[in-house]
């Protein structure tokens, strides 16, 4: 959970220990610096976005409130027979995630729309990963939802990063804080690292 403190954003680590990110500063290269308890912390923007999108996807899967974005130029995918059959089998689930697909026959799928936070780039890879997640038995509902959300988040976070503004960096940390899981991505990778004064002294000699 999140509670605001003067001059900073109060975040909760997985173990419950509070951490305050102060004065976020975009560094470029996909990173944001901030002060955490007097230490310099560097946040990986892509991993932070992945955690945020993952939690959003889990919530969406629970509510069924997906939003689709129409593609200006539809993508035409050539799938294997098994993949094509799987798309047809899971058409309702794919539509619920925000996909607008048309089965054109002979293994061809026309992608007319994608989930709102997904890039049209590499939509074939996203579709393949989702079909893999759908293979998880429906009886394992929670695991199945987690795998679907992880695939969606992984792909959405791969977009071009660019350098965030201070406002964008602060907004990202706000959203990360709201997830209640600021330390690691769904795959267990660290979202931020702290750099101690001793490490700085060693680097400077």
DSSP letters, 22-52, are: EEEEEEETTEEEEEETTEEEEEEHHHHHHHH
Q: What percent of the chain has pLDDT over 90?
A: 40
State residue 81's pLDDT score.
92
Mean pLDDT of all residues in 80-104: 91
| CA 33 – CA 194 distance, rounded (Å) | 10
Q: Which segment of 4-8, 104-108, 156-160 scores lowest on mean pLDDT?
A: 4-8
Relative to beta strand 108-115, strand 68-78 is: antiparallel
Say if residue 168 is exposed, middle or buried (CB neighbours under 10 Å; 0-12, 13-18, 19+): middle
Q: What are the tens digits of pLDDT across the range 30-57?
A: 999 988 777 888 999 999 999 999 999 9
d(CA 30, CA 12) in angstroms, rounded, equals: 23
pLDDT at res. 16: 54
Average of per-residue pLDDT across 98-123? 88
- Whole-model pTM? 0.80
Sheet holding 18-28, edge to edge: 3-5, 8-12, 18-28, 31-36, 39-44, 192-195
Q: What is the pLDDT of residue 205?
A: 81
Q: Which domains are delineated in the chain?
A: 3-52+160-204 (3.30.1540.20), 67-115+120-156 (3.30.1370.100)
């Amino acid at each position: 959970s999140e509670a605001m403190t003067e001059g900073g954003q109060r975040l909760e680590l997985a173990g419950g220990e509070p951490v305050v990110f102060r004065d976020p500063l975009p560094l470029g290269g996909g990173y944001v610096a901030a002060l955490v308890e007097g230490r310099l912390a560097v946040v990986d923007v892509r991993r932070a976005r992945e955690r945020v999108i993952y939690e959003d996807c889990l919530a969406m899967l629970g509510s069924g409130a997906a939003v689709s974005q129409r593609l200006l130029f539809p993508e035409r995918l050539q799938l294997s027979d098994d993949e094509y059959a799987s798309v047809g089998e899971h058409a309702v689930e794919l539509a619920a995630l925000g996909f607008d697909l048309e089965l054109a026959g002979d293994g061809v799928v026309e992608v007319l729309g994608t989930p709102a936070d997904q890039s049209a780039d590499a939509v074939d890879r996203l579709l393949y990963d989702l079909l893999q997640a759908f293979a998880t038995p429906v009886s394992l509902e929670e695991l199945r939802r987690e795998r679907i959300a992880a695939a969606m988040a992984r792909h959405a976070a791969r977009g071009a990063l660019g350098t965030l503004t201070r406002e964008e960096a602060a907004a990202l940390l706000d959203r990360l804080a709201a997830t209640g899981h600021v330390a690691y991505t769904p795959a267990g990778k660290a979202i931020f690292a702290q750099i101690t004064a001793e490490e700085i002294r060693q680097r400077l000699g």
